[in-house]
Amino acid sequence: MTIGEPPAQVGHAVIRAQTDAWIDGDDVLAAEEPMEIRLLSEADQWAKPRSVAITMRTPGDDFELAVGFLHGEGIIGNREDILDVSYCLDEAEEQRLNIVTVTLRPGLTYDPAGLERNFYTTSSCGVCGKAALDALDFQGYTPVSSGPQVSSGVIRALPGTLRREQAVFRQTGGLHAAGLFDLDGNLLDLREDVGRHNALDKLIGYQIMHGRDQLDDRVLLLSGRASFELLQKALVARISIVAAVGAPSSLAVQLAESFNVTLLGFVRPDSFNIYTSAERVLR
């Protein structure tokens, strides 16, 4: 990791909800920060880098990430297409290590319209974690309501229920799932997909298409980890309790704290971790 890069992991206090006791403890979260990728090229007369993408990542190997992304998009073909890769050091200190500028060789052209993937941008280039959260404030999202509550026994049983109903997963072993439960642990609906984001989009999309836009008394279970994007989708759907079989990222925890979402991770038959808003979980 380059000196001065954001850390790849951060600590966070948790409650370890076990069958026989609740224990205060600490956990280590994989850091998650947005990274903006900019291109500087002859086509823009070397005047100003063009923002082409913002991607969520764990800090570290940022230059490789930017180059790999551009190669995957067909912008660059080999090392000779790159003149320079650098951080945007003329930005505010909290931003500069989240912005990578790739300078292309003279004569190399690309289609900017094919790279319009910008999310969480501001009038500057605020792509630090705080800016990503501020963007949700700007879009008018507010903290979810204080209720409902769910028992810890219900939470621990969710993964087993989800797995039993994952028909395609049983056949392929290669799909993510998102399940929607009521407060008694009854599975109301689930969707599977090779992409965890797609599975959640399908699940919420079905509810919306069938007029079920009040989801604040539901529990969402994710079959993998809980990332910022997944928590954002849950927030927009006004789901107040999100549980994950895997770990949450640092920015997911920040989002949950900021918008009063109960976030649970490492859900197992005998235990789970409570990262935020523990008051919704009953012993």
Q: Which residues are catalytic?
A: 125
3-class SS letters over the chain = CCCCCCCCEEEEEEEEEECCCEEEEEEEEECCEEEEEEEECHHHCCCCCEEEEEEEECCCCHHHHHHHHHHHCCCCCCHHHEEEEEECCCCCHHHHCCEEEEEECCCCCCCHHHHCECCCCCCCCCCCHHHHHHHHHHCCCCCCCCCCCEEHHHHHHHHHHHHHHCHHHHHHCCCEEEEEECCCCCEEEEEEECCHHHHHHHHHHHHHHCCCCCCCCCEEEECCCECHHHHHHHHHCCCCEEEECCCEEHHHHHHHHHCCCEEEECCCCCEEEEEECHHHEEC
